[in-house]
Structure 1
Amino acid sequence: MTAAMYDLMDFDEVLEKFDPVMGLEVHVELHTETKMFSGSGTNFGADPNSNVDPVCLGLPGALPVVNAKGVEWAIKIGLALNCKIAESSRFARKNYFYPDQPKNYQISQYDEPIAYDGYLDIELDDGTPWRVEIERAHMEEDTAKLTHIGGTSGRISGATKSLVDVNRAGIPLIEIVTKPIEGAGERAPEVARAYVSALRDLVKTLGVSDARMDQGSMRVDSNLSLRRVGTTEFGTRTETKNINSLRSVEQAVRFEMQRQARVLEDGGVIDQETRHYQEDGSTKKGRPKETAEDYRYFNDPDLPPVFAPAEWVEEIRTTLPELPWIRRARIQKDWQLSDAEMRDLVNAGALDLIIETVEAGSTPDEARAWWVSYITAKANEAGVELDAVGITPRQIAQVISLVGAGKLTTKLARQAVDGVIAGEGDVAEVIAARGLEVVRDDGAIEAAVDEALAANPDIVEKYRAGNTKVTGAIVGAVMKATRGKADPQQVNKLIAEKLA
């Protein structure tokens, strides 16, 4: 079933009758070495239930201890988001009963967050600036991971059993909550995507998270409601949970606008509920949405207040790196890119990858050529974001260097990239295993040239008659005979010498 098969209102009609109001909650896992309130490791991909301890398992008598690095990085995020930093903040217990929370409560922050009242300036696809107001950025711990077995979608609907992996429970999380985003109209889906993209770039630049949406280290909850055009009262909102890609963020907002509009126009009522994003671009009913009172928040009696003196906050401010929008302005000037070219790189998710490739030794033009053409095509084939395609900027820089040194042709370089993406090893391992390096045996190449010339006397005759542009077929024959491993410059040189 596709989103187009649902009973949805035409998007243009939605805009004629309703104004969307959005709110975005983004959860960012911090990659500290240990968890937020205990000493267990946080490495992704460890064996299930191996990074555990009495605190994250919720065993009786186990007491939490605050991770100082987690607090420092929370302040760093708050400062980068132009937030005010609370000199004193507190942890609270958020009570709910679910298999992903061994303690039956989550340690979070409620009415005393560490960072609040900020903003993030973003740029839409056509360069239009947009300011997203930040309500708060607060600290909490992540929950365990549930894997649902027996269904067809990997989700709880239709599953026959669920497996619990407590490795993720207790990993430091920063939840960044926007104020209501009003006035976006038809651009609401685009604003949502651009905001999440900018936020992802920011936390990666800060060095506090890899922000891998495909691995769950950055997850988005999208709140949306509609109100009739000309009215000011907010409608009932739904919350689409755990969206894990930029494209999905945009699709979820658009779908909910069209779905809610149809329900309201037909005289129905929007339920305040959570919804689950589906891979076809739709959302599916989850459970009724709780209010803050339902969670019975109260200050955690095992944790003291967190103090952030102004001197410490200013010390952390001095460690902030060059922020993404400042770096982009510098890069655009240094690389002499137009506004449109820069927007294309940013929108494709390629800019940071290109910058890292240049930092690893490539030229900007070579790095751009690889990422925006061949690697982008590979990402599109696999249906993944560009940074999840399976090859790193360092590896692309290696390939570019080998081409520049004449050790790989462009064709062989693409085969090397294919091997890395396929998981066959690093660049050198793939080249060795596939036998890709350019042939340097003068005798073997000369023999291939002689054979090609002998097989194409008409081309030889045309060349000697003055048409020096006809040697492409000879070069092609030599490259075929050497399985693409001959150096094209060497081949051309030998052909010219023999035909002279």
Structure 2
Amino acid sequence: MSHLYRTVIGLEVHVQLKTATKLFCRCRTDFGASPNTQVCPVCLGLPGSLPVLNDTAIRYALRAGIGLHSEIARFTKWDRKNYFYPDLPKGYQTSQFDLPICGPGYLEIESLDDTGAPCPKKIRILRAHLEEDAGKSLHDEVAGKADTRIDLNRAGTPLLEIVSEPDLRSAEDAKNYLVEMRLLMMYLGITDGNMQEGSLRADANVNLHIQRDGKWVATPIVEIKNLNSFRSVERAIQYESQRQYEQFLADGKTIGEAPKQTRGWDDDAGVTEMQREKEDSADYRYFPCPDLVPVLISDADIAREQPAAAITPRSARENLVGSLGLRPADAEILIQQGRETVEYFLAVVKAGATPKRAIAWMLQDVLRILNDRAISVAEFPIPASALALILIAIEKGTLDTARGREVFAKLLDAPEQAVEALIQAHGVVAVDAGELESLCRELLNENPDVIAKVKSGNAKAISALIGQARKKNKNADPRQVQETCLQLIETSY
């Protein structure tokens, strides 16, 4: 017997903040250090050690709250979340329970409406709170030894846990949400977003609402832990939705009739596996941390982070597509490269280049160089103002595209050169009007088929003559050749 059902999903995203030191001590947070070399009495939980709060972590959390349109708490405190795990040396995690730093907000994603058409969708954010990360358990790392080794370098690293409301309705929406969340956090400059290194992880809370006897009933909620790729999030939710549906057909149990579960995702096998029954908040025995004072947040603290949150992926789309008229696909390619690349493009346009020509050069030339040289746009040798001068010269006809690329190549190799002098040296030499007309008549006489196509209404056919014109006279301006040929066809042929 089949039933109509819908999937209900909430995501908990753990964002590792790119602070230089840990949340409550001066230990470094560098990835890849030798095991247990970035530790001290505080993050080892040794008796008598006391935590000291990292101010940058607070600033980053405020910035994230602004980017997520969240309510920012003016008073927030620290709590101890008590549980045992081998890589949690203190026996508790310092976190935030009832007074998180960020309250309700939202993240807008692209989804599909009931007809399958693309549409924006706001996913509500319940809260975002700061906490320290646990260490790392390395299971069966040595061949032939069924052991577990503990690396505490990560213990105490600052995390921002962002908890959504259960507003997601498909595995694809969940993936899109995680993609957009990662991009936003990177634009805000608070994480490197490297999922392979654990800088961003997600837990998915999944259950089904199933129609039975004309009423909607809910299956028990399952939390799928530590999903560290977009593909894993999508596949795990798809599998778990089907598993829960089959389980419901088998036993008919609904929420409250069976305990919540925590399940792990086996990416190789493509299945979720039972780990334990899910704890409730009472099981963690939360209580205020006696070693840390509450944090008071002022309007000035929030205002200080506003400039860093000025450009987000959403605002960039609105500007690039809505204001500058870029095609959405082109704008998205640029946006996915990161905030610095968008800012470089905007600087090129602000310096006088047209958006249409600037985006063509960004996608075809600038990004190619960044990929070939494995550099960031901050390391790109040609300043935005210099690239703008090249594009303006092409727009005016002072340079043709081929010579513009010659100037571009010379600046790449020697960026200290004066771009104005290079443009002048490579600029198109004006061709005498009589010489140009003679050239165009020669081309038309040699290409009667082009004349026929133009007369039949295909004016674009004239472009076939541009390359021939350059072979006969390298100084021939393509635009002037095109205009002169069209005028001659209209008056003389």
Structure 1 residue 51: deviation in Å? 1.1
Structure 1 residues 396, 261: closer, same or farther in 2, change over 3 A?
Answer: farther
1:181-238 deviations in Å (ceiling 9; x for gaps): 26x3xxx112111111111111111111111111101100000011213645543111
- Equivalent of 1:149 in 132, 140, 147: 140
Aligned counterparts of 1:288 and 1:53: Cα–Cα separation in 2: 34
**Equivalence for 1:246:** 230
Q: What residue number does 1:365 align with?
A: 360
1:129 aligns with 2:120: yes
| Code of the aligned partner of 2:63 | K
- CA distance change for structure 1 residues 61 and 147 in 2, over 3 Å: closer, same or farther? same
The residue number in structure 2 matching 1:64 is: 51
Per the alignment, in what secondary structure is the counterpart of residue 129 of structure 2? strand
Once the two structures are TM-superposed, the CA of residue 369 in structure 1 deviates from its matched residue by 4.3
Residues 69-89 of structure 1: per-residue CA shift (max 9 Å, x gap): 111211111121111111111
Cα gap change, 1:245/1:398 in structure 2, threshold over 3 Å: closer, same or farther?
farther
How large is the RMSD of aligned CA atoms in angstroms? 3.8
TM, length-normalised to structure 1: 0.67
Match of 2:147 in 1: 161
Q: Aligned partners of 2:23, 2:290: CA distance in 1, in Å?
A: 16
Do 2:219 and 2:244's aligned partners in 1 also have CA atoms closer than 8 Å? Answer: no
Unaligned runs of 5+ in 1: 1-8, 153-157, 379-388, 409-426, 429-465, 468-488
Aligned residue identity for 1:255: Y
Distance 1:141 1:231, change over 3 A: farther
Could you say which residue in structure 1 is the equivalent of 2:302? 313
**What is the aligned partner in structure 2 of residue 304 from structure 1?**
293
Q: Deviations over 1:66-109 (max 9, x none)?
A: 11111121111112111111111111111111112111110000
- Are 1:212 and 2:201 counterparts? no
Residue of structure 2 in register with 1:337 after alignment = 326
* 2:460 aligned residue: none
Paired letter, 1:128:
C
1:200 matches 2:189: no
Q: Tell me the CA shift for residue 323 of structure 1.
A: 1.8
CA contact (8 A) 2:140 2:148 kept: yes
User: Which amino acid letter does the alignment assign opposite residue 191 of structure 1?
Assistant: D
SS at match of 2:103: strand
> Distance between the aligned counterparts of 2:305 and 2:104, measured in 1?
19
Deviation by residue 1:29-64 (Cα, 9 ceiling, x = unmatched): 111111111111111122221111110011111011
Q: Report what 2:265 is aligned to.
A: 277
Q: Is the 8 A contact 1:107 1:141 kept in 2?
A: yes
Between the two proteins, what is the percent identity of the paired residues? 37
1:288 CA displacement:
1.7
Query: Normalising by structure 2, what TM-score?
Result: 0.68
Find the aligned partners of 1:147 and 1:360 in 2 and give their Cα distance. 47
What amino acid does structure 1 have at the position aligned with 2:53? V
Take 1:159 and 1:177, find their aligned partners in 2: how far apart are those partners? 38
In structure 1, distance between residues paired with 2:343 and 2:229: 22
Give 1:394 deviation, angstroms: 4.0
Partner residue, 1:54: 41
| Contact 1:113–1:138 (Cα < 8 Å) also in 2 | yes
Q: Unpaired segments of 5 or more residues in structure 2?
A: 349-356, 388-403, 414-445, 448-466, 475-493
Distance 1:50 1:40, change over 3 A: same
Matches within 5 A, 1:322-471: 322-332=311-321, 336-342=325-331, 349=336, 355=342, 364-369=359-364, 391-394=374-377, 404-405=405-406
Q: Quote the offset at 1:373 in angstroms.
A: 9.8
8 Å CA contact 2:340–2:378 kept in 1: the answer is no
Question: Separation in 2 of the partners of 1:82 and 1:407?
Answer: 41
Shift of 1:272: 1.8
Q: State the 1:309 CA deviation.
A: 2.3
The Cα of 1:326 is off from its aligned counterpart by: 0.8
SS in 1 for 2:279: coil
- Conserved? CA contact 2:330–2:359, under 8 Å: no
Map Cα deviations across residues 91-134 of structure 1 (whole Å, 9 max, x no partner).
11111111121111100001111111111122237641111111
- Quick check: 1:135–1:178 contact (8 Å CA) kept in 2? yes
**AA paired with 1:283?**
T
Deviation at 1:318, TM superposition (A): 4.6
Pair 62,231 (structure 1): closer, same or farther in 2 beyond 3 Å: farther
Q: Is the 8 A contact 1:117 1:133 kept in 2?
A: yes
Deviation of 1:368 after TM superposition, in Å, equals 2.8
Q: CA 1:345/1:206 → structure 2, altered by over 3 Å: closer, same or farther?
A: closer
Tell me the alpha carbon deviations over residues 326-358 of structure 1, each in whole angstroms, 9 at most, x when there is no partner. 112222357643335545776xx5576864785
